Chain A
Amino acid sequence: MNALDLLLLTSLGTVLFSVVFSASLTGRMLLTMLYAVQTVILFQIDAGTEMVSSFGFEIFNHALGLSFNGLSWFFALITLGSAFFAAWYGLNQQQKLLHVGLSANVFSMLVLLSAGDFLSLFIAWELVSWSGVLLMVLGKQESLVATLKYITYAIAGGMAVFAGIILIYSWTGSLAFNAVTENPLSLSQYGTLAILLIGGFSVKMALLPFHLWQAEAYALTSGPASVFLGAISARMGLFAIVITMMHVVDLKTLDSIFLIPELFTFRDFLIWVAALSIILPTYTALRQNDARLLLAWHGIGQGGYMMLGLLMYDQMGSAGGLLHVFNYASCQAILFMSVFSILHRTGTTNLNQLGGLVARMPLSFLAMLVGIIGLAGLPPMNGFVSKWLVYRSLLSDGMAIVFLASVIGTLGTILSVYKLMHNSFLGQLRVEHEHVKEAPWSMTVPMMLLAIIIFITGVMPGISLELVANAQSAIGLTPVDYHLGGVVSANSAISGDLDMIWVVLVLFSGFGIAAILFLSAGKSRRVHQLDNYAGGHFLNANNQYQYSDNFYAGLMHIIKPWYRYSFKWFEGAVVSFVNLAAVFSRSFFNQAHMLIWMLVVVTTVMAVAII
């Protein structure tokens, strides 16, 4: 029994434990500890080498095995970390389904991450898809609707993956990961597999145009569930896509499949899908008035950066893409925590009904501040490093237009996270929130810990880059050349290293100068928020001088024509088509002479088949 076996067993044990004990507070505390224990066990596994689990069984003469490498290790760490913080954050949540769902998700994700062949990958994929449902149904009525939508998408995606795996089996006669690499296929076969597998996995990742389900499903459920789902759940799709690129169709093959001859390859297509997945959902996020939905839409947009980085498949780009999984998970988790602590205290996340909460919930404010700096990709938080790597790789590959697209996406991110913070924490405190208190310790402590992690991995990205380098060598790439403060550019022709320690030093010396000016100006005096300038108007508590509704009206006016809900329209068209087909088939089966008609159809099909 090695460490991997122990990890999987502990994880399974956690599920059983959560089923029995999650009703009591002590039980939930122990549950949180169990995630920490799993993390400790994970650190016993050497990330640099491959570890094969002794659990394996045979099915139809195929040995199914579980094994762990650097890539799995990297994703497993993020999964366990997210689960640990989500469970801590949810200590006071008594919903049993939440805790069972969380542990079940962690277990199924660990199985997926350790999948050693296509069949176990598929089985684990379905496990992950279905255990996700447990966490999505915890909200009000609207969360059920969102979950149903998710199930539809997940089944469609799962079917596509299944079809792809069956094709691999019928073409190569094997389900092992090396099946395709050992029996090269034709280009059209590669193309089919790429469409089925990457398409199917990208449903989970919510790449365009399969993104419509995600925001509601992740956001409208209970707080800790949102934290976990938002942080890591969708990234399982990314993991599976990496597996596909590693074992089925590598990027070279993708680059030789031309969609428009001599002009536009499958890889270009994916790059543009990723770029559009950054821009469109980010600007949709800008339009949201519910803080939870705003964040969840960002999750879709940030997935685009990871995909983009991986599609570059060079040292820097893939490091950026993978690092962004880690960085984004920490930022999204802290942001969801902050937003749900607002919901916990005020009962709303409607950005038009909040404001000024910084005076009442300073720790949640601090958490959100750290989170939005990270999500927007600004120093000194960790989001800057990963985005910098992706940008740099785009630039050195000469992809100026895609670079521009990702910068536009970042602009949208900055604007909307500003909206998030301005409308909830800054500005005027509403009368009904006069007596709001800071969130309880069980919520603020994990937030503060995450904030520390975000800052430290921002100043010293070498810590997380080490894990990324392991993951890179596991997928057969040259690992990034890192040191504690950042990265060294391997290609000396294109200079440009990054040392965050210096960046942060410069940044903080700027703050220092500002602090000296502030402190030397003598003592300051606090004034009341109603002692404020509104063009000379006399304000009272019933005056709403907080500008929150129709935020960015000018920008919205400009981009509105671009948003004709074409994806919603497309989705609606597919739904109508399926409905229509259902009506026809029902009327077919309802006929009196159904059997005769069936006979006719079968004979025709057979006749056609014989001819």
Chain B
Amino acid sequence: MKEFPVPVQTAEDPSVKKQSGNIFSNVFDELVRFAQSRSLFMLHYCTGCGAIELPPAMTSRFDMERLGIQPMVTPRQADILLITGYVSVKTLKRVILTYEQMNAPKYVIGICSCTVNGGMYWQSYATAKKLNDYMPVDLYIAGCMPRPEAVISGLRQLMEKIKIGEANSWQDYFKRYDYYLGNQQRLFGETWQTPTDIIGESKHYSLHTPETEGEHTRLLELHQRPLEPLEMRLGLSEKTEDR
């Protein structure tokens, strides 16, 4: 049996920020976190049947928007990735791509028992059992399917976590990318790759640790063709060509 892979944060964990001495920066950080927790854009990736409980949660009956949570259409602008039910292998590839395209800080919520342990699809050959094998999950809302009240209370918990600065599991993906990539490769095969550059991003966020790279990332590098960023060019041409 493998160890339980939900990251456990301890006092020695460098990701838990120690309170620095500067009172102004503390106040500022708290202000930023408060603002973040109050303006969350949610990309609801409706994978399974649990999605049906989202419309009532979003619309006037339960009204998520009073908490500052709104749906968003693209991952680049979204903060929360909501996985609403069983995830088939094919869907999981898309979910991972979408997750990797989100900008940090980003939070993942798994709704439904199916995302926790496979639920009633446990015996299916086509579904992924545990979502947190493939990406760090901040919060699970169990139930088959959870009612809107449960969804809302889950979101409130997430807001609370963001406000006190504990919703940091997104950092885990960069710090232990090799682990997640390994699980992904086990499921999708060795040639699995996404167009995103996680290692480069981990350096960008200064979250690069020894565990970021490993045998799995080396396997990835063997066949990955990274996309070069398009740069702006003021190309001046030779005279002969202009004629």
Contacts from A to B (Cβ < 8 Å):
92, 94, 359-360, 362-363, 429, 437-438, 440-442, 523, 525-533, 535-539
Contact = CB atoms under 8 A, between A and B. Distances in A.
A528 B242 contact: no
Nearest to B78: A533
A530 B242 contact: no
B234 A362 contact: yes
Contacts of B243: 92, 94
Contact of A536 (B76, B94, B230, B234): B94
A536 B100 CA distance: 11
A92 B194 CA distance: 46
Contact of A530 (B74, B227, B231): B227
B8 to A, nearest CB: 29
16 contacts: A360-B235, A362-B233, A362-B234, A437-B237, A438-B233, A438-B236, A523-B204, A527-B229, A528-B227, A532-B101, A533-B75, A533-B76, A533-B98, A533-B101, A536-B94, A536-B95
B195 A525 contact: no
Q: Which 9 A-B pairs have the closest CB atoms?
A: A536-B94, A528-B227, A437-B235, A440-B242, A526-B229, A531-B195, A359-B230, A533-B74, A437-B237
Nearest to A529: B230
Interface in B39-87: 45, 74-76
Contacts of A538: 93, 97, 194-195
B204 A525 contact: yes
Given A359-B230, A359-B232, A536-B94, A531 B242 contact: no
B98 A536 contact: yes
B172 interface: no
A440 B237 contact: yes
A536 B99 CA distance: 9
Given A92-B242, A429-B230, A441 B195 contact: no
Given A527-B229, A528-B195, A536-B94, A363 B76 contact: no
Contacts of B209: none
A289 B210 CA distance: 54
A528 B229 contact: yes
Given A437-B235, A525-B204, A536-B97, A530 B195 contact: yes
Contacts of A94: 243
A362 B229 contact: no
Nearest to A92: B242
A362 B232 contact: yes
Contacts of A535: 94
A152 B195 CA distance: 58
Contacts of A363: 234
Contacts, number: 67
Contacts of A437: 233, 235-237
A169 to B, nearest CB: 53
A182 to B, nearest CB: 58
A427 B187 CA distance: 34
A51 B193 CA distance: 77
A536 B45 contact: yes
Given A362-B234, A438-B233, A526-B230, 4 more contacts: A438-B237, A440-B237, A528-B195, A539-B195
Given A440-B237, A525-B204, A531-B195, A537 B229 contact: no
Nearest to B43: A533
A510 to B, nearest CB: 20
B30 interface: no
B228 interface: yes
Contacts of B227: 528, 530-531
Interface residues of B, number: 29
A538 B92 CA distance: 12
B160 interface: no
Contacts of B229: 526-528
B145 to A, nearest CB: 22
B153 interface: no
Interface of B: 45, 74-76, 91, 93-95, 97-98, 101, 194-196, 201, 204, 227-237, 242-243
B94 A442 contact: no
A360 B233 contact: yes
Given A525-B204, A537-B94, A531 B232 contact: no
Contacts of B97: 536, 538
A521 to B, nearest CB: 10
Nearest to A438: B235
Nearest to A535: B94
B206 to A, nearest CB: 11
A363 B93 CA distance: 39
A484 to B, nearest CB: 34
Contact of B201 (A360, A362, A525, A529): A525
A536 B194 CA distance: 11
A442 B241 CA distance: 13
Contacts of B194: 538
A361 to B, nearest CB: 9
Contacts of A536: 45, 91, 94-95, 97-98
In this complex, the member of B91, B95, B195, B201 whose beta carbon has the largest number of chain A beta carbons within 10 angstroms is: B195
A111 to B, nearest CB: 34
Contacts of B91: 536
A535 B242 CA distance: 42
B187 to A, nearest CB: 16
A528 B195 CA distance: 8
Nearest to B98: A536
Contact of B230 (A92, A440, A441, A528): A528
A526 B231 CA distance: 9
A354 to B, nearest CB: 16
A547 B101 CA distance: 21
B184 to A, nearest CB: 14
B87 to A, nearest CB: 12
A170 to B, nearest CB: 56
B174 to A, nearest CB: 13
A359 B195 contact: no
Nearest to A539: B195
A438 B98 contact: no
Contacts of B232: 359, 362
Contacts of A529: 230
Contacts of B233: 359-360, 362, 437-438
A12 B229 CA distance: 54
A528 B201 CA distance: 13
Contacts of B242: 92, 440, 442
B91 to A, nearest CB: 8
A526 B76 CA distance: 12
A438 to B, nearest CB: 5
A478 B75 CA distance: 58
Contacts of B195: 528, 530-531, 538-539
Nearest to A434: B230
Nearest to B194: A538
A533 B94 CA distance: 10
Nearest to B229: A526
Contacts of B231: 359, 526
Contacts of B98: 533, 536
A11 B204 CA distance: 62
Nearest to B230: A359
A577 B98 CA distance: 64
Nearest to A440: B242
B16 to A, nearest CB: 21
A525 B200 CA distance: 10
Contacts of B236: 437-438, 440-441
Nearest to A532: B101
A536 B229 CA distance: 20
Contacts of B76: 533
